[in-house]
Amino acid sequence: MKERSPSLLAHVVLLDVVLVWGSTFVLVKDALAGISPLLFNFLRMALAFFVLAAVYWKQLWAIDRRTLVRGSLVGFCLGLGYQFQTEGLRLTTPSKSAFITGLAVALVPVLLLFPPLRAEEGVPPSPSAFIGSAAALAGLALLTLPRRAALGALFSGMGRGDYLTLIGALFFALQIVVLAKYARSVRYEHMGLVQVGAAALLMACTGPAFETAKLAWSPTVALALGITAVLGTSLAFTAQSYAQEILPATTAVLLMALEPVFAWMFSYLFYGERLDPRQILGALLVISGILATELLPKLSWAPRRSAIMEED
């Protein structure tokens, strides 16, 4: 019996993570009627940290200074992404927030053009990665923006909330890039634990500056916190750390672009919300972007060294 390919397993793991995130979208939306968004984010991260600490308590003393520094850097990027995105959502429309956050798909390959942000053995993104990102971004636009929204009008009419969301998208992209840079040098269990803990600490410090906390306990709030803390955070970010030991950042961010596709799927299954032809095309474009990155030849921007040597 053949062993499963590590790459295939990493794809499946990350797809499962994105499936969980997409499935919790409606649950979180309902819960926010009883709890303020930043407080929800903090409690979710804090609960997830304690879950991970309980699971990996025997390994806590094995976490060294290097792991703390690298995991905290990833966690701060994650926490800042959530904080800016959530504050931006308060000042803009949900559709614009969803699309601008999706710009992380395009930002990741751009960030990877800078050598300091790549792993030591990392190479610049291939042209196919940019082709895939462009297709996925077009798909996200069709999925998230209103039918009559024009991209030119979107960017020319950006307000404070849109810019805050854009900063959040940049930090989400940085989280993926920095995690890819350090994933192979830090155990994924330790990376998940430190990353989530650092994000929770950051949210505890910055949350009061952005909102006045509101909390009205209800079964919906408790259920949303429990599911997102255990499945959507502690398990998800540990699994992401494992998957990014193997997958390049450009592949990871494209797989994460499936989150709104899965969210629409669960809305259809449980709430009867239907996708119109435009949104179906958007979902297909996101999937096409992933396939383009995975299946197109990994071309290089530079001519092959062997060809140059032959000419000499």
Residue-by-residue pLDDT tens, the chain, 312 positions:
344 578 888 989 999 998 888 888 778 878 888 898 889 999 999 999 999 999 888 877 888 899 999 999 999 999 999 888 888 877 777 667 777 888 888 889 889 888 888 876 677 788 888 888 888 888 887 777 766 655 555 555 567 888 888 899 999 999 999 999 998 888 888 999 999 999 999 999 988 888 888 999 999 999 999 999 999 899 999 999 999 988 888 888 888 888 878 877 777 777 666 767 877 888 888 888 888 877 765 555 455 443 433 444
Q: What is the pLDDT of residue 3?
A: 47
List alpha helices for 24-121, DSSP H.
25-31, 37-55, 65-91, 94-101, 104-111
Q: How many CB atoms neighbour CB 5 within 10 A? A: 10
Residues 271, 49: Cα–Cα separation, whole Å: 32
Residues 106, 151: Cα–Cα separation, whole Å: 15
pTM: 0.83
Residues 244, 188: Cα–Cα separation, whole Å: 9
Residues 37, 116: Cα–Cα separation, whole Å: 34
Q: Which residue has the tokens 């040597």?
A: 309
Neighbour-count burial for 236-248, b at 16+ CB within 10 Å, e otherwise? bbbbbbbbbbbbb
CA 109 remoteness from chain centre: 14
Q: What is the pLDDT of residue 31?
A: 85
List alpha helices for the chain, DSSP H.
6-23, 25-31, 37-55, 65-91, 94-101, 104-111, 127-144, 151-156, 160-182, 188-210, 219-229, 236-243, 249-256, 259-271, 277-295, 305-311
Q: What is the pLDDT of residue 273?
A: 67
For the chain, how long is the longest CA-to-CA vector? Answer: 74
Residues 195, 182: Cα–Cα separation, whole Å: 12
Domain ranges of the chain: 6-297
